[in-house]
Structure 1
Amino acid sequence: MRMSLNVSQKLGVAVLATLSVLTGCGDRSVSPTDGDRLDVVSTSTIITDWVDRVGGEAIEHQGILDPGADPHVYEPVPQDSIALENADVIFYNGYNLEPGLIKLIEGVGTGAEKVPVGEVVKPLDFEYRGQTEPDPHVWGDVENVVVMVEEIRAVLVERDPDNADTYTENATALAEELQRLDLWIERQIATIPENQRKLITTHDAFQYYASAYGLDVVGTLIGISTEEQPSAQTVQQLVENVKETGVPAIFAETTINPQLISTVAEEAGVALAEPELYSDSIGAVGSEGDSYIKMMVSNTCSIANALGGECTPFETE
């Protein structure tokens, strides 16, 4: 079991991480004009959720991706360029999660603050075509999210100091809820029999989650990016892997067509867990995963229940 930090300790770590990123960057304070709100744009739905929670009504906020959209393969449209050009602050994940949008963001010529919030976290790595790359799915470990939320707060405060109290209060409330979520996930996964704490998913998006909460990712249909297309040989190899590991269930994901992973489950003679896992996007409004916290709760219950454990309700307060 990993040692969990309390909220004050985590916020302290987050502040230090943020200061290390900001050191040497100069004064970023550019308050919006009187009567105007800070114009903020975010990329993935997960980051959009955090920015909504921290910024609240004090900012004018637009998220580019819709719930269920896959940031790995998203192709920007002209309206995205307009939103980015007009922004005061742009929050994106980084580590090449959203390559199409990152290329567009890098080309934005205005004075917008471009903030790769995922890159304040020291990444886990993966091997791809003989090279080591950072895994972009940093939000799988809730402790990382506390650090990213602090970065969002710090940027908003520097750009809009008049609303500093609002941003700080909102970020603190979110951090406290994240602390409870972190401990809750650890307890749910601990109910799974040790020999069944093995995760097989459609794509390799759960390394941080598995590392943080005591699971092993023993197989995936495709790698980090959903742009990859598995061969028939890859599918058959995963079928054999599922049989060898003896897992009772494997997992589909909401942003990826489940047809191939369903075939793997059928041929291996195991269950395809329900509900599907939220990987790169939160769910549609009204779904079980329509916020970051709710998607993590849904994922954890799906994993715990399917692998022989139990899931108790998560209390938000």
Structure 2
Amino acid sequence: MKISIHRRAIADYPGKQSLLKLATGVILGFCLSSCTNPEANRAGDSSGNQPQVVSTSTIIADLTESIASEEIQVSSILTPGVDPHIYEPVPADSIALENADLILYNGYNLEPELIKLMNAAGVNAKKLAVGEVVLPLQMEKQAAMTPDPHVWGNVMNAIAMVNAIRDSLSELSPENAATIQENAADYTATLEELHRWIQAQIATIPPNNRRLVTTHDAFQYYAQGYGLEITGTLIGISTEEQPSAQTVTRLVEEIKRTQVPAIFAETTINAQLIRTVAEEAQVKLAPQELYSDSIGVPGSEADSYIKMMVSNTRAVVEALGGTYTPFVVAEN
């Protein structure tokens, strides 16, 4: 069976794991070490009789992998570190979508070109806009209000996404529904712990320092869910936008006015502009970049949704003057 996205480490979520899952993880480790070419990770191998689930983003693929039965093949079109806002599909993506039994995409126009491809191609698969199960925040874009697609920034929203994925997988593979339901329950319990842990971590930051300045507007849900204020961003909710000189100047002035202790770059966006802002505002650029639209590459500190949220929280807490305590999953 071709595996197109890494399976999580056994320690990443609670619940009893079978020897089969352990063996799959070992095999996958060898696969990932030799598959650094993005084309090698391309979704869409329809060999065998397993239901084929294709995800458009690494975050959705990771949530799905966390709860899916071993009898369901989960793959991702995007690979870790790729920006869904500006991704340009390749011919292999059409094949992946056409071979799918179920397509899981974020929606709210996070991945605009993939959504266009999905709607234009001869795709007979069932489709679920996973992010659209969450009531969105509305952001201004070009003098109009548009839904903010970065819903996973609040872990409670990720739980709603997991519930929707659980139901779709159970419908796709009813013979494996019991396993899917059990996996989802275990994973949700871990997400609930994660949500409480983030709240406690952010609470250690001095109140006047609870401000975020980032490259693009991807952290509104995170800020709203955990008591932070978005002081400013270089660009809006889509990374296809380009900041004007006026925008940069306004942001520098706002940073100086609010005296934030640090600002943040992001892993999927060139850091040069935000580095320039930091220099002009004479403020520290946080040493750890934030993960916004993608999980980290396999083997990194953020190669799952949970680890991504932990990494981001640690970066924010340490840069803004809080006290970081490692996230530990309670034993059942």
Who is 1:11 aligned against? none
Say if 2:164 is the partner of 1:151: yes
Cα deviation, residue 110, structure 1: 3.5
Partner deviation per Cα, 1:155-200 (whole Å, 9 max, x = no partner): 0111110000111111111100100000000000000011110100
Q: RCO (CA 8 Å, sep 6+): is it higher in 1 or 2?
A: 1
Cα deviation, residue 107, structure 1: 2.1
Who is 1:51 aligned against? 64
Cα deviation, residue 56, structure 1: 4.1
Letter in 1 for 2:93: D
Who is 1:72 aligned against? 85
Who is 1:275 aligned against? 288
2:252 pairs with one of 200, 219, 239: 239
Partner deviation per Cα, 1:105-138 (whole Å, 9 max, x = no partner): 1123343011100001100110111111110000
Say if 2:49 is the partner of 1:36: yes
Who is 2:13 aligned against? none
Contact kept? 2:106, 2:149, Cα under 8 Å: yes
2:219 pairs with one of 191, 202, 206: 206
Partner deviation per Cα, 1:129-148 (whole Å, 9 max, x = no partner): 11111100000000011111
Partner deviation per Cα, 1:230-263 (whole Å, 9 max, x = no partner): 1222112211111011000000000000001001
Who is 1:288 aligned against? 301
Distance 2:71 2:305 in 1: 21
Who is 1:19 aligned against? none
SS at match of 1:279: coil
Say if 2:327 is the partner of 1:314: yes
2:102 pairs with one of 89, 106, 116: 89
Letter in 1 for 2:139: F
2:264 pairs with one of 244, 251, 258: 251
Contact kept? 1:42, 1:92, Cα under 8 Å: yes
Cα deviation, residue 61, structure 1: 1.6
SS at match of 2:68: helix
Distance 1:316 1:262 in 2: 35
Distance 1:219 1:110 in 2: 40
Distance 2:317 2:216 in 1: 19
Distance 1:126 1:276 in 2: 24
Cα deviation, residue 265, structure 1: 0.6
Partner deviation per Cα, 1:54-100 (whole Å, 9 max, x = no partner): 11412112100010000000000000000000100000000000000
Matched residue pairs, number?
283
Letter in 2 for 1:217: I
Say if 2:135 is the partner of 1:130: no
Distance 2:191 2:120 in 1: 34
Q: Flag structure 1 segments of 5+ consecutive residues without an equivalent.
A: 1-34
TM-score (norm 1): 0.88
SS at match of 1:66: coil
Who is 2:189 aligned against? 176
TM-score (norm 2): 0.84
Who is 2:278 aligned against? 265
Contact kept? 1:105, 1:114, Cα under 8 Å: no
1:113 pairs with one of 104, 109, 126: 126
SS at match of 1:158: helix
Partner deviation per Cα, 1:293-313 (whole Å, 9 max, x = no partner): 001000001001111101100
Percent identity, aligned pairs only? 63
Letter in 2 for 1:107: A
Who is 2:43 aligned against? none
